[in-house]
Chain A
Amino acid sequence: MSKTSNINRVDGFAKVTGSATYSAEYKTDGVVYACLVGSTIAKGKIKSIDTKKAEWAPGVLAVITHLNVDKPSGYQKAKDKHNFGQPLQIFKDDSILYYDQPIALVIADTFERMQYAASLIKADYFKEEHSTELKKAADKEKKVETDKGNDYHRGEHDGYKNAEVVLETEYTIPTEVHNPMELANIIAKWEGNKPILYTKSQGVEGTRRSVAGVFDVPAEDVEVHAEYVGGAFGMGLHTWPYEIAALIGAKKLNRPVKLVLHREQMFTNVGFRPYTIQKMGLGATKDGKLTGLTHEAVAMTSSYEDFMEGTVNMSRFIYDCANVSTRYRIVPLDTCTPIWMRGPGEATGSFALECAMDEMAYKLDLDPIEFRKRNYAEKDLEQNKPWSSKYLLECYEGGMERIGWKNRKNKPGSVREGEWLVGYGMGTGTFGCYRSPTSVKAKFSADGNLILQCSVNDMGPGTATMMTAIGAEIMGMPVENVIIEMGKSGLPKGPTQGGSATTSSVGSAVHDSCNLLVSKILGLANETPTFKGIPIADLTFANGLISSKNNSKTVSLASLLASNKLEDFAVEKQSKGNEEARKYSIYSFSVHFVKVLVNPNIGKIRLAHVVSCADIGTVISQKTSAGQMFGGAVGGIGMGLMEALEIDHRFGRPINNNFADYHVPVNADIEKQEVFFVNKKDPISNPMGTKGLGETALVGMAPAIANAVFNATGKRVRDLPITLDKIIETAKV
């Protein structure tokens, strides 16, 4: 374990004391306040919109609708569909594609006056019949010929049907919403033709490209600040219509415009995890060898974007199975467009796959882990490549020991603690390890600090902490002397934060640029009289000192810089994956274990103990990684037990669009929770040997809960969330 692996979150103090500045908190002279008014129907056209009362209300500066908008010049150029990043062109015309679609932007001099004016806007519509219910829209199902949309077959098509033991089941997950604590928010302004945004974004460079496209300006002219992001879980991957609306308003008034979505709008306007119906077919021999696996998914999308995710992908490679078929279809509905939500498709897919594996284990009368071990994949059969590293068995073993798996009985309902039925369950998770080209500038300043610059964001996982740990380790210096500058345009280009790729991408760039910086420093030192003639390989750099072998000669970097009349010393390097990595299949793995206590009379499920284990390669920062794993696991618990956006399909409107009615877990719901990492370096993935954590921290938790509930009660719940009405027992009197 490295010296820096146990450091504290470097921005923790700023965050808990409130000195961290989030997008809407930037002090901006002359800022005015805006909000969006939404449609009250789910599909149709705007017949008329009365903005007069709002325009006349005190303090109102502008009311913008499709009737009076100066349409951004990029609208003409963009195709209507598949234009990732800004698919819905706000105020483009009179058409309504979903409930609460923005139909007006109201801007006033104060927040209160803006809110009041917005309440005065009334619209009439030509209503059309809407379709918001996936189960009733099967006729609109479509196959999209892309990597994600293509059918996959290995061996015999639907070969499971010929097996000795066959299982066919169907699983449903409802729509879930990201809803981070920090609302979607932006301050938008223009300097001439250059847009400036302080906004909630998971990717500065992506936001620049999207805004550049909409307003037809060069991406280099778009300035984006997102230094702190208060959670996002994927909703910050799009540039959303609200951001474009704020820019339209700021341009019209030539003033900075602040726009913060209402909590209700977070349920309708910034994406969600799509409602998905999955069919599983499993075939096995009587002694527990999988012979066939078919995974089919039908997921909702919007009418204006073919959103897809990797729902069925895990089924192709996670188990050793000769005959595998996967199919993925989407159904356009009259809603806002979905967007990846933590653990994206894999979280949805693992619920079906890992519940089906559990069900098959019961059919075979096998321990679910024993069943999985009998089908352990020694290599990736989908890509026909060896794993770069795989410590899934260590996750199984560590989890079994911690949760007390030996106390589990295969017969449901056969373990009790007092009045409570006891159940144990587990679920496997996985996520690919990705690495995108990333530039980092590493600069030594004369005052002895290392400054690391990258435009990447930190939405909470601890990116700045990770960068600090890697930089301090390589430079041999205290973490206190590392300064991170990130989350804004103009810095060396970093990736969008998503897909568990940040550490692999940015960490590698920190690693490479710091090593380059050290070698440049040693090169510079080598030209000084002190070290003249000593081979560079015999020089080292640590604690701000350049030393020769045996420390016979030392020179401080500060004096080296001074003697060269340099104020600082900097390198910038782009880092990217190599060809060698393509020969391997690189995945993180996780296993979640759950012990539940159930009172079937009132349907109460207690999470007595939750254990999450992961093989994520090297752990760079123990504390922030553990924090990320705890948080992901809690997200998975919400998915398993509580989260569901309910739609009243008669109106196409959500019912529970607030935090009182849309439930996420509270502390009291989880009685004991622990996480652990195998923490073994991956030899292939990147210089640090990390594999990525954010997504796999959630993937596999929901099936673990469903499987534990079955073990406790004998009730198999195949539609999430597992609310008490689904397991309550009718009295036998």
Chain B
Amino acid sequence: MKNFQIIKALSPNSAVSSINKENSAMFIAGGTNLVDLMKKNIAAPDKLVDITSLDLKKIEFLSGKVSIGALAKNSQVAEDKAIKEKHPLLALALAAGASQQIRHMATVGGNMLQRTRCSYFYNTDMPCNKRVPKSGCGAIGGSNRMSAIFGASESCIAVHPSDMCVALAALDATVLVEGPKGKRQIKFTDFHRLPGNTPEKDNTLLDKELITSIEIPDNNFNKNVHYLKVRDRTSYAFALVSVTAALDIQNNTISSARLAMGGVAHKPWRLTEAEEFLKGKTVSETTFRQAANLAMKGAKSYGDNDFKLTLGPNAIVEALTIASSK
């Protein structure tokens, strides 16, 4: 690891201004991903701005929405009584991620910014366009069991690894950020991006912008919800495929549905067409299977991850079935 400077920011504004002067400066909060990246020389900032003292840890229930500070710990949100009651999907997704120790360190904002777990990204002797632009994609034609089936490009087939973000995409959350040019809001589903020709960019944050909070509008998805995470072991493994299913069921009829997948794309993959299809339908396995088939339109696999074409729709049906039977 190379030498670097670390300073503590006392306000969002001072955090942004202290990072603004340096090209290779970065914010650090829980550090559960960034420190690993620095050890491997994948991230090599000259300066870290420690934002953990900022007053961005609160979970506040406001009129029509909940606001979660960017520095709220993953475990704090997952175990918050009111979150569990009003947004159980978010609590379930958070609890499925990482390990308890990591959830105690990791923050909501940091979770959104974690980099892909594609092995080629982490192995610095390998080609990876995301790590070193124009160096090639090792996963295409290589080991790609984890890789994307939606929205990938010729330069990158990596997936976003977060569980939490899959729930936030389904819940129509909004991201609040502050940067050199002031404050702005980003729709959660627009926050992460597809790789295209520039896979080095994971998201639509502008240079030096800081995430300050997320907001989730109130909804009726507090009963028939499920987060299904399919992985290679029961705990402490990234999703091969995950599904968030949220249903508002009245008299065995689905009045509205939210559906998103993780582990399948460079961003949390919202399944709006399947959601529309489910609306007004009666709860049944056939309906769920039809929705799942709709959801898989356009899916493409790369060899090792061919199984996701089968696992994906099966996981959707499974998640919907469990959600509807709660």
Contacts and interface: CB of A to CB of B under 8 A. Distances in A.
Interface of A: 40, 99, 112, 115-116, 119, 599, 601-604, 641-642, 646, 648, 650-651, 653, 655-658, 660-661, 663, 665-669, 723-725, 728-731, 733
5 contacts: A99-B125, A119-B2, A650-B142, A655-B119, A669-B234
Contacts of A112: 1
Contacts of A731: 289, 310, 313-314, 317
A119 B122 CA distance: 15
Interface stretch (B59-67, B206-214, B235-243): B235-243
Contacts of B238: 660
A394 to B, nearest CB: 33
A660 B232 contact: no
B286 to A, nearest CB: 7
A648 B232 contact: no
Contacts of A666: 233-236
Nearest to A116: B2
A601 B126 contact: no
B240 A724 contact: yes
Nearest to B127: A651
B253 interface: no
Contacts of A668: 233-235
A725 B117 CA distance: 19
A665 B236 CA distance: 10
A89 to B, nearest CB: 24
Contact of A653 (B41, B126, B317, B318): B126
A646 B143 contact: yes
A278 B36 CA distance: 39
A637 to B, nearest CB: 10
Given A603-B230, A646-B143, A724 B311 contact: yes
A657 B119 CA distance: 9
A658 B122 contact: yes
A195 to B, nearest CB: 31
Given A112-B1, A660-B238, A733-B286, A602 B228 contact: yes
A668 B123 CA distance: 29
Interface of B: 1-3, 41, 117, 119-120, 122-123, 125-126, 138, 141-143, 145, 228, 230, 232-238, 240, 286, 289, 293, 307, 310-311, 313-315, 317-318
B19 to A, nearest CB: 23
* Residue among B142, B314, B315 with most chain A CB within 10 A: B314
A648 B286 contact: no
A40 B125 CA distance: 6
Contacts of A655: 119-120, 123, 142-143
A663 B237 contact: yes
B233 A602 contact: no
A733 B289 contact: yes
A598 to B, nearest CB: 13
Given A728-B307, A731-B313, A116 B1 contact: yes
Contacts of A656: 119, 143
B307 A725 contact: yes
Nearest to A38: B125
* Residue among A115, A661, A666 with most chain B CB within 10 A: A661
A596 B240 CA distance: 21
Contacts of B313: 731
A116 B145 CA distance: 33
- In the A-B complex, the 10 residue pairs with the closest CB atoms: A725-B307, A668-B234, A601-B314, A668-B235, A655-B143, A655-B119, A733-B289, A40-B125, A669-B234, A666-B235
Contacts of A733: 286, 289, 293
Contact of B1 (A115, A660, A661): A115
Given A655-B119, A663-B233, A733-B289, A116 B314 contact: no
A607 to B, nearest CB: 9
B138 A728 contact: no
A123 to B, nearest CB: 12
A174 to B, nearest CB: 12
B125 to A, nearest CB: 5
A662 to B, nearest CB: 10
Given A648-B143, A724-B240, A733-B286, A663 B232 contact: yes
A729 B307 CA distance: 10
A653 B125 contact: yes
A653 B230 contact: no
Contacts of B230: 602-604, 724
Given A642-B233, A655-B119, A731-B317, A602 B311 contact: yes
A285 B270 CA distance: 58
Nearest to B161: A660
A436 B13 CA distance: 71
Contacts of A601: 314-315, 317-318
B226 to A, nearest CB: 13
A669 B145 CA distance: 21
A602 B314 contact: yes
Given A119-B2, A653-B125, A653-B126, A603 B234 contact: no
Nearest to B143: A655
A728 B311 contact: yes
A119 B40 CA distance: 9
B22 to A, nearest CB: 20
Nearest to B3: A116
A666 B101 CA distance: 15
Given A115-B1, A646-B143, 4 more contacts: A119-B41, A653-B123, A656-B119, A669-B235
Contacts of B315: 601-602
Contact of A728 (B126, B237, B314, B317): B314
Contacts of B317: 601, 731
Contacts of B3: 116
B214 to A, nearest CB: 26
A686 B317 CA distance: 60
A663 B231 CA distance: 11
A648 B318 contact: no
A99 B126 CA distance: 12
A35 to B, nearest CB: 12
B310 A728 contact: yes
Nearest to A113: B3
A663 B145 CA distance: 14
A523 B41 CA distance: 70
Contacts of A661: 117, 119
Contacts of B117: 660-661
A648 B142 contact: yes
Contacts of B122: 658
Contacts of B125: 40, 99, 651, 653
A667 B232 CA distance: 14
Contacts of B138: 648
A723 B238 CA distance: 14
B289 A642 contact: no
A634 B237 CA distance: 18
Nearest to A660: B117
Contacts of A658: 122
A143 B138 CA distance: 36
Nearest to A99: B125
Nearest to B142: A648
A373 B235 CA distance: 39
* Residue among A723, A730, A733 with most chain B CB within 10 A: A733
Nearest to A649: B142
A206 to B, nearest CB: 33
Contacts of B311: 602-603, 724-725, 728
B113 to A, nearest CB: 18
Nearest to A112: B1
A665 B232 CA distance: 10
A653 B123 CA distance: 9
Contact of B310 (A99, A650, A663, A730): A730
* Residue among A663, A723, A725 with most chain B CB within 10 A: A725
Contacts of B120: 655
Contact of A724 (B2, B126, B232): B232
A156 B232 CA distance: 44
A645 B293 CA distance: 34
B218 to A, nearest CB: 32
